[in-house]
A and B are shown apart, each in its own frame.
Chain A
Protein backbone atom coordinates (compact mmCIF):
# COMPACT_ATOMS: atom_id res chain seq x y z
CA UNK A 1 0.00 0.00 0.00
CA UNK A 2 1.23 3.47 -0.85
CA UNK A 3 2.04 5.89 1.90
CA UNK A 4 0.68 9.42 1.61
CA UNK A 5 3.88 10.78 0.05
CA UNK A 6 3.72 8.07 -2.62
CA UNK A 7 0.02 8.68 -3.13
CA UNK A 8 0.72 12.38 -3.74
CA UNK A 9 3.41 11.43 -6.24
CA UNK A 10 1.03 9.11 -8.05
CA UNK A 11 -1.67 11.77 -8.11
CA UNK A 12 0.72 14.37 -9.51
CA UNK A 13 1.80 11.88 -12.17
CA UNK A 14 -1.86 11.40 -13.06
CA UNK A 15 -2.26 15.16 -13.15
CA UNK A 16 0.66 15.59 -15.53
CA UNK A 17 -0.59 12.88 -17.84
CA UNK A 18 -4.31 13.48 -17.75
CA UNK A 19 -5.27 16.80 -16.19
CA UNK A 20 -3.06 19.25 -18.03
CA UNK A 21 -0.73 20.05 -15.14
CA UNK A 22 2.26 21.76 -16.69
CA UNK A 23 4.25 22.96 -13.70
CA UNK A 24 4.90 21.37 -10.31
CA UNK A 25 7.31 23.57 -8.44
CA UNK A 26 8.58 24.82 -5.14
CA UNK A 27 11.68 24.64 -3.01
CA UNK A 28 13.57 21.36 -3.69
CA UNK A 29 10.55 19.98 -5.53
CA UNK A 30 12.45 19.06 -8.67
CA UNK A 31 15.40 16.72 -9.12
CA UNK A 32 17.61 15.60 -7.57
CA UNK A 33 15.69 15.70 -4.27
CA UNK A 34 12.08 15.47 -5.43
CA UNK A 35 10.75 17.14 -2.32
CA UNK A 36 11.86 16.92 1.29
CA UNK A 37 9.13 14.32 1.83
CA UNK A 38 9.88 12.66 -1.57
CA UNK A 39 6.36 13.49 -2.73
CA UNK A 40 7.53 14.89 -6.07
CA UNK A 41 10.20 12.39 -7.13
CA UNK A 42 10.36 11.27 -10.73
CA UNK A 43 7.75 13.62 -12.13
CA UNK A 44 8.33 15.23 -15.50
CA UNK A 45 7.15 18.81 -14.90
CA UNK A 46 8.80 19.48 -11.55
CA UNK A 47 11.35 22.21 -11.00
CA UNK A 48 13.14 23.92 -8.17
CA UNK A 49 12.15 27.46 -7.38
CA UNK A 50 14.06 30.14 -5.57
CA UNK A 51 13.55 30.01 -1.81
CA UNK A 52 10.89 32.68 -2.08
CA UNK A 53 7.40 31.77 -0.92
CA UNK A 54 5.83 34.96 -2.26
CA UNK A 55 7.36 34.16 -5.62
CA UNK A 56 5.99 30.61 -5.48
CA UNK A 57 2.45 31.76 -4.74
CA UNK A 58 2.65 34.69 -7.17
CA UNK A 59 3.98 32.41 -9.88
CA UNK A 60 1.08 30.01 -9.32
CA UNK A 61 -1.42 32.87 -9.50
CA UNK A 62 0.04 34.23 -12.72
CA UNK A 63 0.04 30.79 -14.30
CA UNK A 64 -3.56 30.32 -13.23
CA UNK A 65 -4.61 33.68 -14.68
CA UNK A 66 -2.96 32.69 -17.94
CA UNK A 67 -4.82 29.37 -17.97
CA UNK A 68 -1.88 27.12 -17.16
CA UNK A 69 -2.49 24.40 -14.56
CA UNK A 70 0.06 24.09 -11.80
CA UNK A 71 0.67 22.61 -8.40
CA UNK A 72 2.94 24.76 -6.24
CA UNK A 73 4.42 23.61 -2.99
CA UNK A 74 5.30 25.54 0.11
CA UNK A 75 7.76 23.11 1.66
CA UNK A 76 6.35 23.45 5.18
CA UNK A 77 3.24 25.45 5.94
CA UNK A 78 5.29 27.21 8.62
CA UNK A 79 6.76 29.30 5.79
CA UNK A 80 3.51 30.31 4.11
CA UNK A 81 2.71 33.17 6.44
CA UNK A 82 4.52 35.84 4.46
CA UNK A 83 2.26 35.06 1.48
CA UNK A 84 -1.00 35.71 3.28
CA UNK A 85 -2.03 38.76 1.24
CA UNK A 86 -1.32 36.90 -2.00
CA UNK A 87 -3.45 34.05 -0.72
CA UNK A 88 -6.21 36.56 -0.03
CA UNK A 89 -5.95 37.88 -3.57
CA UNK A 90 -5.94 34.36 -5.00
CA UNK A 91 -9.18 33.85 -3.10
CA UNK A 92 -10.81 37.11 -4.12
CA UNK A 93 -9.83 37.42 -7.77
CA UNK A 94 -12.74 35.41 -9.17
CA UNK A 95 -15.14 37.30 -6.91
CA UNK A 96 -13.72 40.76 -7.49
CA UNK A 97 -13.78 40.24 -11.24
CA UNK A 98 -17.33 38.87 -11.03
CA UNK A 99 -16.35 35.48 -12.35
CA UNK A 100 -14.20 36.73 -15.20
CA UNK A 101 -10.89 35.54 -13.75
CA UNK A 102 -11.13 32.19 -12.01
CA UNK A 103 -7.94 31.08 -10.32
CA UNK A 104 -7.44 27.35 -10.97
CA UNK A 105 -4.38 26.48 -8.91
CA UNK A 106 -3.32 24.09 -6.20
CA UNK A 107 -1.08 25.01 -3.32
CA UNK A 108 0.25 21.94 -1.56
CA UNK A 109 1.83 22.39 1.84
CA UNK A 110 2.39 19.91 4.67
CA UNK A 111 0.82 20.92 7.97
CA UNK A 112 0.78 20.16 11.64
CA UNK A 113 2.97 18.68 14.30
CA UNK A 114 4.20 15.19 15.03
CA UNK A 115 7.62 15.19 13.41
CA UNK A 116 9.45 16.86 16.30
CA UNK A 117 9.58 19.98 14.24
CA UNK A 118 9.77 22.62 17.00
CA UNK A 119 8.56 26.14 16.26
CA UNK A 120 8.89 26.28 12.50
CA UNK A 121 8.06 22.76 11.34
CA UNK A 122 5.00 22.13 13.46
CA UNK A 123 2.52 24.83 12.48
CA UNK A 124 -1.03 24.11 11.55
CA UNK A 125 -2.88 26.25 9.04
CA UNK A 126 -6.48 25.09 8.95
CA UNK A 127 -7.75 27.93 11.12
CA UNK A 128 -5.99 30.44 8.87
CA UNK A 129 -6.89 28.66 5.64
CA UNK A 130 -10.58 28.53 6.43
CA UNK A 131 -10.46 32.31 6.84
CA UNK A 132 -9.50 32.69 3.18
CA UNK A 133 -12.83 32.92 1.35
CA UNK A 134 -12.67 31.84 -2.26
CA UNK A 135 -10.32 28.96 -1.51
CA UNK A 136 -11.23 25.34 -1.15
CA UNK A 137 -9.37 23.66 1.69
CA UNK A 138 -8.75 19.92 1.86
CA UNK A 139 -6.77 17.73 4.24
CA UNK A 140 -6.33 13.98 3.72
CA UNK A 141 -5.69 11.55 6.53
CA UNK A 142 -4.95 8.43 4.46
CA UNK A 143 -3.33 7.53 1.15
CA UNK A 144 -6.43 6.87 -0.92
CA UNK A 145 -7.96 10.20 0.10
CA UNK A 146 -4.61 11.88 -0.46
CA UNK A 147 -4.76 10.64 -4.04
CA UNK A 148 -8.43 11.39 -4.60
CA UNK A 149 -8.39 14.84 -3.04
CA UNK A 150 -5.34 15.88 -5.04
CA UNK A 151 -7.01 14.77 -8.26
CA UNK A 152 -10.05 16.81 -7.23
CA UNK A 153 -7.83 19.82 -6.53
CA UNK A 154 -6.16 19.60 -9.92
CA UNK A 155 -9.54 19.41 -11.65
CA UNK A 156 -11.15 22.26 -9.73
CA UNK A 157 -11.52 25.68 -11.35
CA UNK A 158 -10.79 27.41 -8.02
CA UNK A 159 -7.71 27.81 -5.83
CA UNK A 160 -7.42 24.70 -3.70
CA UNK A 161 -5.18 24.41 -0.68
CA UNK A 162 -4.06 20.86 -0.17
CA UNK A 163 -2.82 20.27 3.36
CA UNK A 164 -1.29 16.84 3.93
CA UNK A 165 -0.37 16.25 7.59
CA UNK A 166 3.40 16.07 8.03
CA UNK A 167 3.09 13.32 10.62
CA UNK A 168 1.12 11.04 8.28
CA UNK A 169 3.17 11.37 5.09
CA UNK A 170 4.99 8.10 5.77
CA UNK A 171 1.90 6.24 6.93
CA UNK A 172 0.67 3.51 4.59
CA UNK A 173 -2.97 3.27 3.72
CA UNK A 174 -5.16 0.20 3.89
CA UNK A 175 -6.95 0.77 0.59
CA UNK A 176 -5.36 0.48 -2.83
CA UNK A 177 -5.30 3.37 -5.27
CA UNK A 178 -6.80 2.20 -8.59
CA UNK A 179 -3.95 0.62 -10.55
CA UNK A 180 -1.56 0.53 -7.60
CA UNK A 181 0.36 -2.76 -7.23
CA UNK A 182 -0.75 -4.59 -4.12
CA UNK A 183 2.82 -5.34 -3.09
CA UNK A 184 4.33 -2.25 -1.48
CA UNK A 185 7.85 -3.45 -2.29
CA UNK A 186 6.94 -3.58 -5.95
CA UNK A 187 5.52 -0.06 -5.73
CA UNK A 188 8.68 1.18 -4.04
CA UNK A 189 10.86 -0.40 -6.72
CA UNK A 190 8.78 1.31 -9.38
CA UNK A 191 8.46 4.88 -8.10
CA UNK A 192 10.92 5.52 -5.25
CA UNK A 193 14.16 7.14 -6.33
CA UNK A 194 17.27 5.22 -5.31
CA UNK A 195 19.68 6.60 -2.75
CA UNK A 196 22.82 8.11 -4.19
CA UNK A 197 23.19 9.01 -7.85
CA UNK A 198 19.80 9.47 -9.47
CA UNK A 199 20.85 11.01 -12.74
CA UNK A 200 19.88 8.02 -14.87
CA UNK A 201 16.93 6.89 -12.76
CA UNK A 202 13.45 7.02 -14.18
CA UNK A 203 10.31 5.84 -12.43
CA UNK A 204 8.14 3.07 -13.85
CA UNK A 205 4.69 4.40 -13.23
CA UNK A 206 1.89 1.93 -12.58
CA UNK A 207 -1.17 2.34 -14.76
CA UNK A 208 -3.12 4.30 -12.19
CA UNK A 209 -6.67 5.40 -12.78
CA UNK A 210 -9.04 8.22 -12.05
CA UNK A 211 -10.26 8.29 -8.47
CA UNK A 212 -11.61 11.58 -7.25
CA UNK A 213 -12.75 12.42 -3.76
CA UNK A 214 -15.34 15.11 -4.22
CA UNK A 215 -14.38 18.32 -2.43
CA UNK A 216 -17.00 19.05 0.18
CA UNK A 217 -17.65 15.43 1.07
CA UNK A 218 -16.62 13.87 4.38
CA UNK A 219 -16.40 10.22 5.27
CA UNK A 220 -17.73 8.25 8.21
CA UNK A 221 -14.70 6.19 9.05
CA UNK A 222 -16.36 4.42 11.95
CA UNK A 223 -20.06 4.23 12.67
CA UNK A 224 -21.46 4.73 16.13
CA UNK A 225 -24.58 5.74 18.01
CA UNK A 226 -23.52 7.38 21.29
CA UNK A 227 -21.28 10.26 20.28
CA UNK A 228 -19.89 11.96 17.18
CA UNK A 229 -16.24 12.85 16.76
CA UNK A 230 -15.46 15.22 13.88
CA UNK A 231 -11.83 15.51 12.94
CA UNK A 232 -9.33 15.62 10.08
CA UNK A 233 -5.64 15.31 9.40
CA UNK A 234 -3.20 14.08 12.03
CA UNK A 235 -5.78 13.73 14.78
CA UNK A 236 -8.18 11.67 12.67
CA UNK A 237 -6.41 8.29 13.10
CA UNK A 238 -6.14 9.04 16.83
CA UNK A 239 -9.88 9.63 17.02
CA UNK A 240 -10.52 6.42 15.11
CA UNK A 241 -8.27 4.46 17.44
CA UNK A 242 -10.02 5.97 20.45
CA UNK A 243 -13.35 4.91 19.02
CA UNK A 244 -12.06 1.39 18.46
CA UNK A 245 -10.67 1.18 21.98
CA UNK A 246 -13.86 2.55 23.49
CA UNK A 247 -15.85 -0.02 21.55
CA UNK A 248 -14.12 -2.70 23.54
CA UNK A 249 -15.58 -1.06 26.63
CA UNK A 250 -19.03 -1.14 25.08
CA UNK A 251 -19.17 2.41 23.72
CA UNK A 252 -20.30 3.28 20.23
CA UNK A 253 -18.59 6.37 18.89
CA UNK A 254 -19.00 7.65 15.33
CA UNK A 255 -15.95 9.22 13.71
CA UNK A 256 -16.18 11.56 10.74
CA UNK A 257 -13.18 12.48 8.64
CA UNK A 258 -14.08 15.88 7.19
CA UNK A 259 -11.43 15.58 4.44
CA UNK A 260 -12.71 18.86 3.06
CA UNK A 261 -12.68 21.85 5.41
CA UNK A 262 -14.24 24.30 3.00
CA UNK A 263 -16.70 23.64 1.55
CA UNK A 264 -17.60 21.13 4.23
CA UNK A 265 -20.04 18.27 4.56
CA UNK A 266 -22.51 19.68 7.04
CA UNK A 267 -25.19 17.23 6.00
CA UNK A 268 -22.98 14.34 7.14
CA UNK A 269 -22.17 16.07 10.45
CA UNK A 270 -25.81 17.01 10.93
CA UNK A 271 -27.02 13.48 10.33
CA UNK A 272 -24.53 12.12 12.81
CA UNK A 273 -25.30 14.66 15.55
CA UNK A 274 -29.03 14.04 15.21
CA UNK A 275 -28.28 10.34 15.65
CA UNK A 276 -25.84 10.52 18.60
CA UNK A 277 -26.86 13.83 20.24
CA UNK A 278 -23.28 14.36 21.41
CA UNK A 279 -20.42 15.88 19.46
CA UNK A 280 -16.78 16.85 19.80
CA UNK A 281 -14.64 18.58 17.20
CA UNK A 282 -10.96 17.66 17.26
CA UNK A 283 -8.05 19.30 15.48
CA UNK A 284 -4.59 20.53 16.36
CA UNK A 285 -4.55 24.18 15.30
CA UNK A 286 -4.51 26.71 18.12
CA UNK A 287 -7.75 26.83 20.06
CA UNK A 288 -8.71 30.52 19.86
CA UNK A 289 -10.59 31.32 16.63
CA UNK A 290 -10.22 27.70 15.69
CA UNK A 291 -12.13 26.19 12.77
CA UNK A 292 -13.69 23.70 15.17
CA UNK A 293 -15.22 26.66 16.98
CA UNK A 294 -17.13 27.59 13.85
CA UNK A 295 -18.45 24.04 13.56
CA UNK A 296 -19.27 23.97 17.26
CA UNK A 297 -21.10 27.28 17.05
CA UNK A 298 -23.14 25.94 14.17
CA UNK A 299 -23.92 22.76 16.04
CA UNK A 300 -25.13 24.80 19.02
CA UNK A 301 -27.22 27.15 16.91
CA UNK A 302 -28.87 24.41 14.89
CA UNK A 303 -29.10 21.54 17.37
CA UNK A 304 -29.23 23.18 20.80
CA UNK A 305 -32.34 21.28 21.77
CA UNK A 306 -31.11 18.02 20.28
CA UNK A 307 -27.85 17.89 22.19
CA UNK A 308 -27.58 15.74 25.30
CA UNK A 309 -24.14 17.00 26.33
CA UNK A 310 -22.08 20.14 25.99
CA UNK A 311 -20.53 20.16 22.53
CA UNK A 312 -16.77 20.39 22.75
CA UNK A 313 -13.72 21.54 20.82
CA UNK A 314 -10.39 19.85 21.46
CA UNK A 315 -7.59 21.74 19.77
CA UNK A 316 -4.02 22.89 20.20
CA UNK A 317 -3.27 25.19 23.08
CA UNK A 318 -3.06 28.91 22.34
CA UNK A 319 0.71 29.06 22.46
CA UNK A 320 3.20 31.02 20.34
CA UNK A 321 4.82 27.81 19.18
CA UNK A 322 5.32 24.13 19.73
CA UNK A 323 8.39 23.40 21.83
CA UNK A 324 10.82 20.78 20.63
CA UNK A 325 11.02 18.54 23.66
CA UNK A 326 8.35 15.82 23.56
CA UNK A 327 7.05 17.00 26.94
CA UNK A 328 6.37 20.37 25.38
CA UNK A 329 4.94 19.22 22.05
CA UNK A 330 2.71 16.59 23.58
CA UNK A 331 1.27 19.09 26.04
CA UNK A 332 0.61 21.58 23.23
CA UNK A 333 -1.42 19.65 20.66
CA UNK A 334 -3.97 16.86 21.17
CA UNK A 335 -2.50 13.41 21.72
CA UNK A 336 -4.29 10.07 21.81
CA UNK A 337 -4.77 10.20 25.57
CA UNK A 338 -6.28 13.69 25.43
CA UNK A 339 -8.71 12.62 22.76
CA UNK A 340 -9.68 9.47 24.60
CA UNK A 341 -10.22 11.47 27.79
CA UNK A 342 -12.39 14.08 26.10
CA UNK A 343 -14.54 11.46 24.39
CA UNK A 344 -14.98 9.64 27.68
CA UNK A 345 -16.08 12.90 29.29
CA UNK A 346 -18.51 13.48 26.47
CA UNK A 347 -19.94 9.98 26.75
CA UNK A 348 -20.31 10.22 30.52
CA UNK A 349 -22.19 13.49 30.53
CA UNK A 350 -25.88 13.06 31.15
CA UNK A 351 -28.54 15.60 30.21
Chain B
Protein backbone atom coordinates (compact mmCIF):
# COMPACT_ATOMS: atom_id res chain seq x y z
CA UNK B 1 0.00 0.00 0.00
CA UNK B 2 1.20 3.48 -0.86
CA UNK B 3 0.44 6.87 0.65
CA UNK B 4 0.93 9.85 -1.62
CA UNK B 5 1.09 13.27 0.02
CA UNK B 6 0.91 16.63 -1.66
CA UNK B 7 1.53 19.96 0.08
CA UNK B 8 -0.39 23.16 -0.67
CA UNK B 9 -0.15 26.68 0.70
CA UNK B 10 -2.60 29.50 1.21
CA UNK B 11 -2.74 32.71 3.21
CA UNK B 12 -5.90 33.76 5.06
CA UNK B 13 -7.01 35.88 7.97
CA UNK B 14 -9.21 35.00 10.90
CA UNK B 15 -10.33 36.13 14.32
CA UNK B 16 -10.94 33.68 17.15
CA UNK B 17 -14.11 34.80 18.88
CA UNK B 18 -16.82 32.50 20.22
CA UNK B 19 -20.20 34.25 20.01
CA UNK B 20 -21.54 32.16 22.90
CA UNK B 21 -18.95 33.60 25.29
CA UNK B 22 -18.68 37.08 26.81
CA UNK B 23 -16.15 39.65 25.53
CA UNK B 24 -14.09 39.08 28.64
CA UNK B 25 -14.12 35.29 28.31
CA UNK B 26 -13.11 35.60 24.65
CA UNK B 27 -10.16 37.82 25.58
CA UNK B 28 -9.12 35.42 28.33
CA UNK B 29 -9.34 32.27 26.19
CA UNK B 30 -8.01 33.50 22.83
CA UNK B 31 -5.68 36.31 23.94
CA UNK B 32 -4.14 38.13 20.96
CA UNK B 33 -6.03 35.83 18.56
CA UNK B 34 -9.15 37.72 19.72
CA UNK B 35 -7.92 41.19 18.68
CA UNK B 36 -10.91 42.87 17.03
CA UNK B 37 -9.72 43.17 13.42
CA UNK B 38 -8.22 39.68 13.10
CA UNK B 39 -4.83 38.57 11.81
CA UNK B 40 -3.47 36.15 9.20
CA UNK B 41 -1.34 33.06 8.66
CA UNK B 42 0.50 31.30 5.86
CA UNK B 43 -1.24 27.96 6.12
CA UNK B 44 0.31 24.77 4.77
CA UNK B 45 -1.99 21.85 4.05
CA UNK B 46 -0.84 18.32 3.30
CA UNK B 47 -3.38 16.04 1.64
CA UNK B 48 -2.67 12.28 1.78
CA UNK B 49 -4.23 9.69 -0.50
CA UNK B 50 -3.83 5.96 0.09
CA UNK B 51 -4.05 3.12 -2.38
CA UNK B 52 -2.40 0.41 -4.43
CA UNK B 53 -0.42 1.16 -7.58
CA UNK B 54 -1.87 1.28 -11.02
CA UNK B 55 0.89 -1.00 -12.32
CA UNK B 56 0.72 0.46 -15.81
CA UNK B 57 1.31 4.09 -14.81
CA UNK B 58 3.13 3.47 -11.52
CA UNK B 59 0.80 5.96 -9.82
CA UNK B 60 -1.42 5.80 -6.71
CA UNK B 61 -3.36 8.91 -7.69
CA UNK B 62 -3.23 11.33 -10.57
CA UNK B 63 -1.49 14.33 -8.98
CA UNK B 64 -2.97 16.76 -11.50
CA UNK B 65 -6.48 15.57 -10.64
CA UNK B 66 -5.72 15.94 -6.92
CA UNK B 67 -4.39 19.46 -7.53
CA UNK B 68 -7.61 20.35 -9.37
CA UNK B 69 -9.79 19.06 -6.55
CA UNK B 70 -7.82 20.97 -3.89
CA UNK B 71 -7.82 24.11 -6.03
CA UNK B 72 -11.61 24.03 -6.46
CA UNK B 73 -12.62 22.94 -2.96
CA UNK B 74 -9.95 24.54 -0.77
CA UNK B 75 -7.69 27.14 -2.35
CA UNK B 76 -10.42 28.96 -4.30
CA UNK B 77 -12.52 29.20 -1.13
CA UNK B 78 -9.82 30.10 1.42
CA UNK B 79 -6.80 31.69 -0.28
CA UNK B 80 -6.46 35.39 0.53
CA UNK B 81 -9.83 35.40 2.30
CA UNK B 82 -11.09 36.48 5.68
CA UNK B 83 -12.34 33.15 7.00
CA UNK B 84 -14.90 34.66 9.40
CA UNK B 85 -16.41 36.97 6.79
CA UNK B 86 -16.11 34.93 3.62
CA UNK B 87 -16.47 31.24 4.50
CA UNK B 88 -20.04 30.23 5.33
CA UNK B 89 -18.94 27.49 7.74
CA UNK B 90 -17.42 30.14 10.02
CA UNK B 91 -20.24 32.67 9.83
CA UNK B 92 -22.03 31.37 12.92
CA UNK B 93 -20.98 29.63 16.10
CA UNK B 94 -18.06 27.68 14.57
CA UNK B 95 -14.80 29.46 15.44
CA UNK B 96 -12.14 29.30 12.65
CA UNK B 97 -9.50 27.66 14.79
CA UNK B 98 -7.12 25.44 12.84
CA UNK B 99 -8.91 22.44 14.33
CA UNK B 100 -12.17 23.60 12.75
CA UNK B 101 -10.46 24.79 9.57
CA UNK B 102 -8.82 21.36 9.21
CA UNK B 103 -12.17 19.64 9.73
CA UNK B 104 -13.79 21.91 7.13
CA UNK B 105 -11.02 21.20 4.58
CA UNK B 106 -11.18 17.46 5.23
CA UNK B 107 -14.99 17.50 4.94
CA UNK B 108 -14.91 19.40 1.63
CA UNK B 109 -12.35 17.00 0.16
CA UNK B 110 -14.21 13.94 1.41
CA UNK B 111 -17.59 15.21 0.11
CA UNK B 112 -16.18 15.84 -3.38
CA UNK B 113 -13.59 13.04 -3.52
CA UNK B 114 -15.60 10.65 -5.69
CA UNK B 115 -16.26 13.30 -8.35
CA UNK B 116 -12.50 13.27 -8.99
CA UNK B 117 -11.66 9.69 -7.96
CA UNK B 118 -14.75 7.61 -8.76
CA UNK B 119 -13.12 4.18 -8.24
CA UNK B 120 -12.49 2.22 -5.03
CA UNK B 121 -8.95 3.70 -4.90
CA UNK B 122 -7.32 6.01 -4.05
CA UNK B 123 -8.97 6.93 -0.76
CA UNK B 124 -8.56 10.19 1.10
CA UNK B 125 -6.53 9.17 4.17
CA UNK B 126 -5.87 12.38 6.10
CA UNK B 127 -5.03 16.02 5.98
CA UNK B 128 -2.44 17.89 8.00
CA UNK B 129 -2.64 21.63 8.44
CA UNK B 130 0.11 23.86 9.80
CA UNK B 131 -1.14 27.28 10.95
CA UNK B 132 2.46 28.28 11.61
CA UNK B 133 5.57 26.11 11.53
CA UNK B 134 4.94 25.40 15.23
CA UNK B 135 1.22 24.62 15.31
CA UNK B 136 0.20 21.51 13.39
CA UNK B 137 -3.13 19.66 13.24
CA UNK B 138 -3.82 16.27 11.66
CA UNK B 139 -7.27 14.90 10.79
CA UNK B 140 -8.07 11.41 9.50
CA UNK B 141 -10.78 11.25 6.83
CA UNK B 142 -12.52 8.61 8.96
CA UNK B 143 -13.11 11.25 11.65
CA UNK B 144 -15.49 13.07 9.29
CA UNK B 145 -19.02 11.68 9.47
Instruction: Verify that A and B bind, or say they do not.
Output: no
Chain B interface (Cβ within 8 Å of chain A)?
none
Chain A interface (Cβ within 8 Å of chain B)?
none
